[in-house]
Amino acid sequence: MLSNRANARMSMAMPDSWLKATGKLNVPLYRLSRGRLMGKVGTAPVLLLTSTGRRSGQQRTAPVLYLVDGERLVVVGSNAGNKRAPAWSFNLQANPDAEVDVRGKRRSVRARVAEGEERARLWEKVNELYEGFDSYDANTSREIAVFVLEPR
Ordered DSSP codes for 2-48: --HHHHHHHHHT--HHHHHHHHHHHHHHHHHHTTSSS-EETTEEEEE
Residue with the larger pLDDT of the pair 36 and 11: 36
144-148: average pLDDT = 98
pLDDT in tens, 50-108: 999 999 999 999 999 999 999 999 999 999 888 999 999 999 999 999 999 999 999 99
Q: Quote the DSSP letter at residue 62.
A: E
Distance CA 78, CA 15 (A): 13
In this structure, are residues 95 and 54 in contact, taking their beta carbons and an 8 Å threshold?
Answer: yes
pLDDT score recorded for residue 20: 65
pLDDT score recorded for residue 17: 64
117-124: average pLDDT = 98
Q: Model confidence at 1, in pLDDT bands (50, 70, 90)?
A: very low
Closest CA to 36 of 64, 65, 45: 45
pLDDT score recorded for residue 3: 44
- Element containing residue 141 per DSSP (H, E): none
Distance CA 147, CA 76 (A): 6
pLDDT score recorded for residue 84: 92
Q: Map out the domains of the chain as residue ranges.
A: 4-151
Domain 4-151 of CATH type 2.40.50.140: no
Asked whether the predicted pLDDT for residue 37 surpasses 80, the reply is yes
pLDDT score recorded for residue 18: 63
pLDDT in tens, 11-31: 444 566 666 667 677 899 999
pTM of structure: 0.84
pLDDT score recorded for residue 60: 95
